[in-house]
């Protein structure tokens, strides 16, 4: 629902997810550049592939945070979009972070926590689906 003309909506949550998304995109680009140039000769090609999987999921979900920020600005009362955003952030940190650390420290046990990040991603997307269906059911797009 749009606020009445002239009424200001508090968009702190929208700005938060836009800023975090943009920041994580920048970090993701740096991580990708490091993987492409800094890991050469340091780790096996298989480990580089694992690292690149972390980068891919990092970048895709950071971009999703920008979209969520815009959606939160559009539907400021839809709190589930914020929940989805926090789940995606957790997914980036746990999924991608564990893959980065696994490759950089050669600590295979970190692979055991990677699925927790995957579950956070899946949960975040499930909450997004529900929130978008709910937001669009009684409000104009």
Any idea what DSSP says for residue 41?
T
Residue 108's CB is within 10 A of a number of other CB atoms, namely 8
pLDDT above 90 as % of the chain: 81
Mean pLDDT of the chain: 91
Identify whether 4 is part of a domain. Answer: no
- DSSP for residue 130: H
pLDDT at 141: 53
Q: Model pTM?
A: 0.89
What is the arithmetic mean of pLDDT over 37-65?
96
- Reported as a single tens digit per residue, the pLDDT across 79-97 is 999 999 999 999 999 999 9
Q: How many CA atoms lie within 13 A of 132 on its CB side?
A: 13
Longest dimension (CA), the chain: 60
- The pLDDT assigned to 8 comes to 52
Range of the domain at 20: 12-137
**How many domains does the chain divide into?**
1
Q: What's the residue count for the chain?
A: 141
Residue 54 included in any domain: yes
Determine the pLDDT at residue 32.
97
């Amino acid at each position: 629902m749009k606020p009445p003309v002239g009424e200001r909506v508090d968009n702190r949550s929208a700005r938060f997810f836009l800023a975090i998304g943009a920041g994580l995109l920048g970090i993701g680009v740096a991580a990708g550049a490091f993987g492409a140039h800094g890991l050469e000769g340091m780790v096996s090609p298989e480990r580089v592939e694992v690292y690149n999987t972390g980068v891919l999921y990092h970048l895709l979900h950071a971009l999703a945070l920008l979209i969520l920020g815009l959606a939160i600005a559009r539907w400021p009362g839809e709190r589930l979009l914020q929940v989805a955003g926090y789940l995606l952030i957790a997914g980036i940190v746990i999924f991608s972070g564990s893959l980065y650390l696994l490759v950089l420290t050669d600590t295979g046990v970190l692979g055991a926590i990677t699925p927790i990040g995957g579950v956070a991603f899946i949960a975040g997307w499930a909450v997004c689906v529900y929130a978008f269906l709910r937001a669009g059911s009684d409000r104009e797009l």
